[in-house]
A and B are shown apart, each in its own frame.
Chain A
Amino acid sequence: MICGDMDPNGPGQSYEPAEWHEPVELEVRHQRIDAGSYAIVDPAPKWPENSAFNLTINFFPTRPGNSEQTLVAWGDLRLQIKDGLLRLCVGEICAICEDIILPRCWYQATVSIDAASKVMGLTAAMLNPTGGVRTEQSAQERLSNWCVPRPQTALLFAAEPETVENGRLFTRNTFNGKLEAPVLSDGPDGELIAAWDFSSGIPTDRITDRGPRELHGTLVNLPMRGATGSNWNGSVASWRQHPGQYGAIHFHDDDMVDCCWNTSLEIQPPENARSGYYIARLTANGVQSDVAFFVSAKAGEPRARLLFLAPTATYLSYANTHIKFDSHNTENLFEAVTQLSEDELYLNLHRELGLSHYDTHSDDSGVVYSSSRRPMLNTRPGLYTFNYLNDTHIIKWLESRNTSYDVATDEDLHRHGTELLQAYDVVMTGSHPEYYSTEMWDALNDYQNEGGRHIYLGGNGFYWRIAYSDTYPGVIENRRGVSGVRTWEGEPGEHHLAFSGEPGGLWRTHGRAPQALVGNGFSSTLFVKSTWFRRSEASFDPRYAFMFRGINTNVIGDFGFRGGGCVGLEIDRWDKDLGSPPNSVVLATSEQVGQGGLLTGEEFITTTRALDGVQNGRVRADMVYFTTAGGGAVWSTGSIAWATSLLWNGGDNNVAKVTGNVLDRFLDPQPLD
């Protein structure tokens, strides 16, 4: 794919068929997706010999409404919440507690079964009693018949089996909320059968049984770990600091990390395939559907001197976003009536396709994982242009000037680090490289400091810290914390990444404001109407003349495909106090940002009405340049709309001219001042 922007008034779509792939006809069939996370212990514990047992489990329901939600499923036994009440069912017989279970309160459920006396009992005790609520409730029923679980029946936490199709388990009645410390014993004070400790192995998909039989289990669909437990008291903020206070797992009925579909078609690019943006175009009965993929340059085997880093972590973070349906402030943010495309309407109806980091779960908690192992309907040619399609403006521009380039993805950068980057004279980052892991940041920083040259063609880059996981390839984790432009707020004590143990949230809050890496960092959103840059006096220093060669005006980019200017959507500013290097120079600054520009939350401290571009001078974009100690150089445009102005007027414009000047000079091995 050269450019996937469908807008008839845009730069024009452009594709080249991959000559190494012939169209094929396939028979495909519908494959279900089993959304909802749970834990499975398989094989399950054996039935106690005296046919009596006790089970205790702590639970924190986040959406205990009318739907049926299963906390524990073992054979014919169900510990559930239904119609807001806790109940224990064995087959058709249920013991039901009387009081409504309150959302977001910790309870301990105790189940006792005595098959000999044919009695089952259930108790629910509040672990942190709250005013006006009975702290303990219980129920008993006689068992008419007790069905011993079949030996092959798995024990499930947070869901129950529905069917098994072709050897694959499908589940239902997923529990929304946290579970903690299930303990199974042989009678009330009997021998321990199993005691699962969810605070162990937090970065993994394994749950550990501390009991004598080591009945370890597995998590499915990536529920959130590193969640505060019933004993979390605010004395620590990280699961690494005190795992014992993080013995809970938060399950959601709309967690989905892998469709687990059988493969219908495998595409194997040949060794000599060009790296780049690709789509597989599927057609059936007049329907067309594109699947995006990347062919990456191999680390250490460059075929060009320029590397374009496709910001796939950003694409993933936004994948399948539902904010137009679920997030209250969306229309106000974009300041226009919300338009819903066919793909977006489909996503709203099909939540099983999984969520984005911008979404909340059905229980209103924030989404911290995003996976590429599913269809992503807004990461392909279509009406959703942010990030992915905007970046193809850059690709088309590179193609139009016959610049040779390789493409690699964020995950490549994360895995291969400087080994990937050091093979290139110039590295280019995209219109919105917003999500960076520590490994990615360190690699780019080392590359710059070791003489590499970096062109950052976007805005709001290097903003959120994320983590990848070896357990879950293709998945990223992000915690929103309590700062930054975000569509939900992280829960207290849950701002640390389960994949890596690092603090999540803004890089800025961990001593690495984007200014330290690229000279500028996020200041404002500007979705209404874009504006332009005006050259600074400093930019006329002869050292920077190469950038502006052939430019006859001080105003740059008063045009473009997003809002009519090159300064727009999201913009970054220079700030030495946040880490802009001492030798960095502001080459140009935005003008007339106006009231459409709105300061991001971390840019002001006390409340004020002076938050827009009319009243607040921090609402601006700064184009920044600096050289690094090791002979490298960085040029940062500080605006997403810069990339979407490159192709204006067929590419004959001063945004393209400046970018081309910098690129050509950066490719020239002569040292830079």
Chain B
Amino acid sequence: MLLYDPTASVFTFDGTRMDLAEEFRDNPRGPFSADLQRILDRMRTTPLKGRYVLLVIEPFRVWQLARLSGERGEAPIPVDSVRYTSAAIAEWDIFKRRWKDLTGVTVTVADPVL
């Protein structure tokens, strides 16, 4: 049987490519350059255990950052008290967190003006 392999997502990228972070900030729904698309594909296939998700606190208004437990029937684990009042800001913040997690490099480009 064909099962999920959490180690199958193997793409690595240069964490200093701030031009690509900037590209995502400015155009978060694409279309993306090939280099950025690969980074997003990598980010979106991180292992289920620990994957960032958003808990809807108030529909369409407030979201809480959390990580999936990776275990069936176990609740996602909230990340501190990180809350967002915009899904777009949440998407950008999670992009930055994943960039740091995957490359060790902090995204230094300015946040979007929304």
Contacts and interface: CB of A to CB of B under 8 A. Distances in A.
Interface of A: 6-9, 104, 322, 324-329, 331-332, 335-342, 345, 348-349, 351, 362, 364-365, 383, 488-489, 491, 528-529, 594-596, 614
14 contacts: A6-B60, A324-B53, A325-B72, A328-B4, A332-B41, A335-B44, A338-B51, A341-B56, A348-B72, A348-B74, A489-B1, A529-B29, A529-B30, A595-B31
Contacts of B110: none
Contacts of A345: 55, 75-76
A326 B56 contact: no
Given A326-B48, A332-B45, A351-B72, 6 more contacts: A332-B41, A339-B56, A345-B75, A383-B56, A383-B59, A594-B31
B13 to A, nearest CB: 16
Given A364-B3, A528-B30, A339 B53 contact: yes
Contact of B56 (A340, A349, A489): A340
B51 to A, nearest CB: 7
Interface string B23-41: 0000001111000010011
A277 B74 CA distance: 34
Interface in B55-76: 55-56, 59-60, 63, 66, 68, 72-76
Contact of B94 (A337, A488, A614): A337
A424 to B, nearest CB: 37
Nearest to B95: A337
Contacts of B66: 340
Contact of A339 (B37, B40, B54): B54
Contacts of B51: 331, 338
Could you say which interface size class chain B belongs to? 35 or more
Contacts of B40: 335
Contacts of B44: 331-332, 335
Given A7-B60, A329-B45, A595-B37, A491 B73 contact: no
Contacts of B91: 336-337
A337 B40 CA distance: 11
Contact of B60 (A8, A337, A349, A488): A8
A489 B3 CA distance: 9
A338 B75 contact: no
B3 to A, nearest CB: 6
A341 B59 contact: yes
Contacts of A488: 2
B107 interface: no
A594 B72 contact: no
Contact of B54 (A327, A337, A348): A337
Nearest to B53: A338
Contacts of B45: 328-329, 331-332
B87 interface: yes
B30 A596 contact: yes
B29 A528 contact: yes
B6 interface: yes
A332 B9 CA distance: 12
A340 B72 contact: no
A49 to B, nearest CB: 46
Contacts of B2: 488-489
A383 B6 CA distance: 29
B54 A340 contact: yes
A340, A345, A614: most-surrounded residue (chain B CB, <10 A):
A340
A594 B30 contact: yes
B90 interface: yes
Contacts of B54: 337-340
A326 B72 contact: yes
Contacts of A9: 60
B52 interface: yes
Nearest to B68: A325
Contacts of B53: 324, 337-340
Interface string B1-18: 111101000000000000
Interface string B70-97: 0011111000000000010011001000
B53 to A, nearest CB: 5
The 10 closest A-B pairs by CB, nearest first: A328-B4, A332-B44, A331-B44, A339-B54, A338-B53, A489-B2, A341-B56, A595-B31, A594-B31, A337-B94
B47 to A, nearest CB: 8
A338 B4 CA distance: 18
A348 B55 CA distance: 13
A331 B52 CA distance: 10
A209 to B, nearest CB: 32
Contacts of B55: 339-340, 345
A177 to B, nearest CB: 13
Given A7-B60, A528-B30, A348 B1 contact: no
Nearest to B52: A337
Given A337-B53, A594-B31, A349 B73 contact: yes
A349 B55 CA distance: 14
Contact of A348 (B4, B41, B59, B75): B75
A603 B1 CA distance: 22
Contacts of A348: 72-75
A10 B13 CA distance: 39
A339 B73 contact: no
B93 to A, nearest CB: 9
Contact of A362 (B3, B72, B94): B72
B20 to A, nearest CB: 15
Nearest to B54: A339
Contacts of B48: 325-326, 328
